Amino acid sequence: MSLSTLLLALLVLSSLAFYLGRKKALSAAGSNLRTLHSLPNYYGYYLALWAGIPALAVFTLWLVLEPQIVQSLVVGGLPEAQRNLSPGRLGLLINDIRNLASGNIVSREVAPGLQEAADHYVRLRDTSRIALFVAVLALAVAGLTFGRQRIRANLRARNQVETVLKAFLIVGSTVAVLTTAGIVFSLVFEAGRFFVAVSPAEFLFGTEWSPQIALRKDQVGAQGAFGAVPLFAGTLLISVIAMCVAMPVGLMSAIYMAEYAPPKLRTVIKPILEILAGIPTVVYGFFAALTVAPFFRDTGAAVGLTISSESALAAGIVMGIMIIPFVSSLSDDVINAVPRAMREGSYGLGATQSETIRKVIIPAALPGIVGGFLLAISRAIGETMIVVMAAGLTANMTINPFHAVTTITVQIVTLLIGDQEFDSPKTLAAFALGLVLFLITLVLNIGALRIVKKYREQYE
């Protein structure tokens, strides 16, 4: 039996509980239904909750805890010498045991002790599964009987059901906070472990980035270098190029759409910009790497310029294109929010349309526009796929857009793709970079909101 069968069984039990609860309530009320405190269905829900929730809670808890407990039991059963291995090696060993247990091919030859441990592992897991089944079903039945006894005509079933529902709503609303807490906690924790190995000053101000891990202790450059300045410079370069494309084009197209375009054209162009906004970033990456970058390289070669095939220019321009609709729709909103009276006042003084836009509308909408730009910059900095596919991997400190540069996000991806060891500085460096990225974008976002709030003119 699989876990989904168990869930299905639980669902059936809960439905049964609904039926039983309703029936019990009706019989408790006797001939006069008015003596019931709540509508009969609420007694059904009440009992279904009693049957379902405790069992489900145990089920979830079990699944979360099971791997750790089984693993520690298996490790406890290993011979002394293996138990005292370093955490990394122990992890490998456990992996081997797991692979053996699930019948996969193991990389090395199977040591006799290993097979035993794997059998032990399988036995423990099977026992755990059976225990889970028994526990969950027993708890569901127990909840059902207990709840059923409590059903009387004057039981405030509706209030209790509503309390549970409200608790669920509250849980839903706290997930966002928990997510933020999870992000901050995991980034700070892993980055802290990284900063034990590499000093924060070296990370933030060092100018050499080559995060390879040594195979042997005595290898040349075994330490790796974790100076992230070239990454910051590369990120900045690409973001600047992107903003050079996105800001003018996005703003001008927003102005055109809001002020000049005839309504018919608007209804055509708006959806097109929305399509641009809805295209997945991997598609932009594909476009950048396979169309734009070769095009620049060949054009450069034709006019005698050496443009790298992973140039910052290609990645930056495509990223700018990706951000155009974002800038444009934010600017469009704020431009439309400027009241008509200001426009008409300006026309009345004899200003042309473009003069009105430049001297009246844009100043009035400026906080919103600047806020939009800041959000766009934060997007450019956090964008991953375009740079992973079109920008380079080597950390160059350059402001030449024809050269290849690398960015924070590219390095996070390259550090974390493939096999990871959770205790090597190489893996942990990704979390330190992630922390930097998170902080930068957070500051930009908060700054954007602040500017919009503080400097917004209130016209109403």
Question: Please, which residue, 130 or 290, has the CB nearer to another protein?
Answer: 290
Q: Is the dihedral of CA 83, 89, 94, 96 positive or negative?
A: negative
Tell me the three state secondary structure of residue 211. Answer: coil
Binding to another protein in span 84-143, by CB under 8 A: none
Q: What token pair was written down for 163?
A: 């309390």
> Which of 221, 278, 304, 348 is close enough to bind another protein by CB under 8 A?
278
Closest CA to 239 of 322, 356, 146, 124: 322
Whole-angstrom Cα distance, residue 44 to residue 112?
56
Binding to another protein in span 61-80, by CB under 8 A: 64, 67-68
Among the listed ranges 72-80, 194-202, 285-293, 394-402, the one in contact with another protein (CB under 8 A) is: 285-293
Tell me the three state secondary structure of residue 18. Answer: helix
Name 85's Cβ contacts closer than 8 Å, sequence gap at least 6.
93
Q: What token pair was written down for 319?
A: 């990223």
Binding to another protein in span 295-314, by CB under 8 A: none
> Which of 12, 110, 213, 275 is close enough to bind another protein by CB under 8 A?
275
Q: What is the dihedral of CA 365, 368, 374, 379, to 10 degrees?
A: -120
Would you give the DSSP letter of residue 210? Answer: E
Minimum Å gap between C-beta 117 and another protein is 18
Question: Please, which residue, 154 or 291, has the CB nearer to another protein?
Answer: 291
Tell me the three state secondary structure of residue 226. Answer: strand
> Which of 29, 139, 289, 312 is close enough to bind another protein by CB under 8 A?
289
> Which of 353, 453, 455, 459 is close enough to bind another protein by CB under 8 A?
353
Binding to another protein in span 239-258, by CB under 8 A: 248-253, 255-257
The answer to whether 421 contacts another protein (rule: CB under 8 A) is no
Among the listed ranges 12-20, 46-54, 60-68, 226-234, the one in contact with another protein (CB under 8 A) is: 60-68
Closest CA to 288 of 261, 319, 244: 319
Binding to another protein in span 143-182, by CB under 8 A: 158, 162, 165-166, 168-177, 179-180, 182
> Strands 209-210 and 225-226: what pairing?
antiparallel
The answer to whether 422 contacts another protein (rule: CB under 8 A) is yes
Minimum Å gap between C-beta 249 and another protein is 5
Would you give the DSSP letter of residue 311? Answer: B
Closest CA to 17 of 53, 57, 46: 46
Would you give the DSSP letter of residue 225? Answer: E
> Which of 27, 127, 207, 352 is close enough to bind another protein by CB under 8 A?
352
> Which of 11, 214, 290, 399 is close enough to bind another protein by CB under 8 A?
290
The answer to whether 394 contacts another protein (rule: CB under 8 A) is no
Site string for another protein, 433-452 (x = CB under 8 A): -x--xx--xx--xx--x---
Minimum Å gap between C-beta 231 and another protein is 14
Contact call for residues 27 and 40 (beta carbons, < 8 A): no
